[in-house]
Amino acid sequence: MLCRLLCLCLCPDPQVDLRDRHALVDIFSSHRFEAVIHFAGLKAVGESVHKPLLYYDNNLVGTITLLEVMAANGCKKLVFSSSATVYGWPKEVPCTEEFPLCATNPYGRTKLVIEDICRDVHRSDPDWKIILLRYFNPVGAHPSGYIGEDPCGVPNNLMPYVQQVAVGRLPHLTVYGTDYSTKDGTGVRDYIHVVDLADGHIAALRKLYEDSDKIGCEVYNLGTGKGTSVLEMVAAFEKASGKKIPLVFAGRRPGDAEIVYAATAKAEKELKWKAKYGIEEMCRDLWNWASKNPYGYAGSRDNSK
């Protein structure tokens, strides 16, 4: 069952832009897909503020085109990568799937709108079976050290940044905000190992098949349910890598929430999925990838460009 599901979501040509309807139609007419896992999207918050139209065009038009081509080919099972960003600055934690949603930047708004599009698509045609996965903060790498994150340019996210400081590509980490109402004043997030996250997708696909008659458009958090501060995360990485991460303390980053972590009960009960790894394993595997591939897949890259 697992292999069959995995094969179904492998795209023969990962280079196709989802906005390229002709290319997408070609793929769907030459292969029969039963389900799609839709991960494609731009994700840099800061960039989305400066280039909103790029984000709306890429993320929204790409998704609409994909849904149209899927429907035209009778493929109506979808797993979509949403984000905890849709909880904004939550009034309380842990965040349950029923919390009110909001967007604080164009990137987040694309996730919110796509979630709404999916709900509307299902309402209009109940043959659609859709699972929206709200990712918390994915970090780490595959334990083999062969697959990891390789951001273009200077990373926006905490751990890719820490990783580049550790290998000497960047001089220090800037810690954004030391006056939050948290244990050490720095922001708290729910970091989840990428391998656990990947397993969450398999669990979602399984649900779409096994509970096909019950599923409409459902949403699940993918997080660990544990909150970790920036300083705790840096300390865990220093321990795993043996590298000292020089820190510079700065003011809050605009738009950042104080504390965000997931309620995990719904995913545990209905997807029968639970994160297995903690921040020690995340940092261990991140360092294994970073030390073997300090310049990512390209081997060498100039960050100043």
Is there binding between residue 81 and ligand UDP (CB under 6 A)?
no
Q: What would the two tokens of residue 91 be?
A: 């009034």
Residue whose CB is less far from ligand UDP, 24 or 175: 175
Is there binding between residue 175 and ligand UDP (CB under 6 A)?
yes
Residue whose CB is less far from ligand UDP, 161 or 289: 161
Residues 214-253 binding ligand UDP (CB under 6 A) are 230, 253
Alpha carbon 259 to chain centroid, angstroms: 18
Q: Are 283 and 237 in contact (CB under 8 A)?
A: yes
Q: Closest by alpha carbon to 139, among 299, 39, 279? A: 279
Q: Rounded to the nearest whole angstrom, what is the least distance from the CB of residue 254 to ligand UDP in the complex?
A: 10
Is there binding between residue 178 and ligand UDP (CB under 6 A)?
no
Query: Can you tell me the distance from the alpha carbon of 80 to that of 118, in angstroms, rounded to the nearest whole number?
Result: 9
Q: Are 132 and 201 in contact (CB under 8 A)?
A: no
Is there binding between residue 189 and ligand UDP (CB under 6 A)?
yes
Query: Can you tell me the distance from the alpha carbon of 35 to that of 39, in angstroms, rounded to the nearest whole number?
Result: 13
Count the site residues for ligand UDP by CB under 6 A: 15
Examine the residue annotation and report whether 277 is marked as an active-site residue of this protein: no
Residue whose CB is less far from ligand UDP, 158 or 267: 158
Fill in the per-residue mask, 122 to 161: x = in contact with ligand UDP (CB under 6 A), - = not in contact. Answer: ---------------x------------------xxx--x
Please identify which residue in 17, 29, 32, 174 interacts with ligand UDP, judged by CB under 6 A: 174
Of 31-39, 107-115, 171-179, 261-269, the window that binds ligand UDP (rule: CB under 6 A) is 171-179
Query: Can you tell me the distance from the alpha carbon of 276 to that of 272, in angstroms, rounded to the nearest whole number?
Result: 12
The per-residue b/e assignment along 44-82, b for 16 or more CB within 10 angstroms, e otherwise, is: bbebbeeeeeebeebbbebbbbbbebbeebebbbbbbbb
Q: Within 13 Å of residue 196, how many CA atoms lie on the same side as its CB?
A: 29
Q: What would the two tokens of residue 183 be?
A: 């244990």
Q: Rounded to the nearest whole angstrom, what is the least distance from the CB of residue 85 to ligand UDP in the complex?
A: 6
The one catalytic residue in 55, 87, 107, 220 is 107
Residues binding ligand UDP (CB under 6 A): 137, 156-158, 161, 173-177, 187, 189, 230, 253, 256
Q: Annotated catalytic sites, by residue?
A: 107
